[in-house]
Structure 1
Amino acid sequence: MRLLLVEDNIALADELLPLFKGHGYAVDWRVDGRDALLAAHDDPYDLVILDLGLPGLDGLQVLQRWRAEGLTLPVLILTARDAWAERLEGLRAGADDYLSKPFHPDELLLRVQAVLRRSHGAVNSPRLEVGGLALDEDRQSIWRGDQEYELTRGEFRLLRCFMLHPGKLLSRMQLNEHLYDGESERDSNVLEVHINRLRRKLGHQVIETRRGQGYRFQG
């Protein structure tokens, strides 16, 4: 899944970027609120982590503009502002969740997982479950009944994307846009390799190929 981190604290961003990437997320980073305002329209992000105290344009104004423009992508506000009035103001503006600084990295990861699952209609549980499969995002492995299958980083990222879009036909372009950030190489051959490996582990019927259209996860 692809995240947009909007944070002007460079030290914090330097901490969060490897944290997210280590848990299988592609991440783009913006510092200025004006850049963030445009970036959310330029790429298909799955979630935005938005600081409020930004240069250029305040984070709350950015969120209000997004919602006024009809942009519905999930937003998690991350800020040092701890007043209840400001929390309520952010939620009224359309935020999906709110986390105050300082925070524990594990809590942020869990909140990101929860918001992503809710935004895709999935049950908020310790595992992402579709059909007879359960994805353990902490261990980056997949369970079928009592059997656990280890996943490579690429397999995990791809399978999580499929499981958040069960039954939906996804083109190669859509998958690449959700799996890779602006600095990552997007190679359709690598995508095919990951799909074939997942089929060998979970069964060929799990991922359907629609020739000339894309792929559909059936669970």
Structure 2
Amino acid sequence: MMTNPVLHRDDPAKDPLIGNVKVTRQDWLNAALSVLKSGGVESVKVADLASGMNVSRSSFYWYFKSRTDLLNALLDHWERTNTAAMVAQANAPARTITEACCNIFRCNINSALFDNRLDFAIRDWARRAARVNDVMKAGDEARLKALTEMFLRFDYPPLEATARARVIYYMQLGYDDANLNETLDDRLAMVPGYLVAFTGKEPTAAEIQSFASYARDVTAAASSP
């Protein structure tokens, strides 16, 4: 089912569209992403997207050569957002390994930084498409490499760095899927314990406070109208 993301023409913060243009390329991509996350790749159909945005199907071809071209754009978006975000967070400045892991935790707190629903959708798609599976594996490898290098920067032995990178990565991927139904306070209360489990080190009170402030700010922004 289409969740009707805000279109360019309906967003007062955007510049007005010119001439007969009713939707932008990004509108098509956002609509397709919404459907991919809610109904899977089989639900991404040009005619349905056009109907949902109340535009002619022919306008699709101003921006994309074919449905395959659109699907390739969805994969590219996933690489440029989710994979790039986790790699960037792994490389973000940090004085301690526990602070570095808090940077990674931001991916699970902030859906604008890392879209877990999109990751699940890509993984489901990859089960039935070898080409997508190859792209997904390359993304996983890039993320794990960045996480391993994060631990190596803090002088963990190579094998231990690899193991700890895998533990934190696969836990991050499965956390939302576990559907723990916990409050933000419950989740934040677990952070010190998670950091000890992932790193073998005790976090500082300042690190915990900094992450908690970030999480509360993100949650408040997401819930505001």
Greater share of residues in helix: 2
TM > 0.5 between the two? no
Q: Rg larger in 1 or in 2?
A: 2
Whichever structure has more strand as a proportion of its residues is 1
TM-score normalised according to structure 1 size: 0.27
Scaled by the length of structure 2, the TM-score of the pair is 0.26
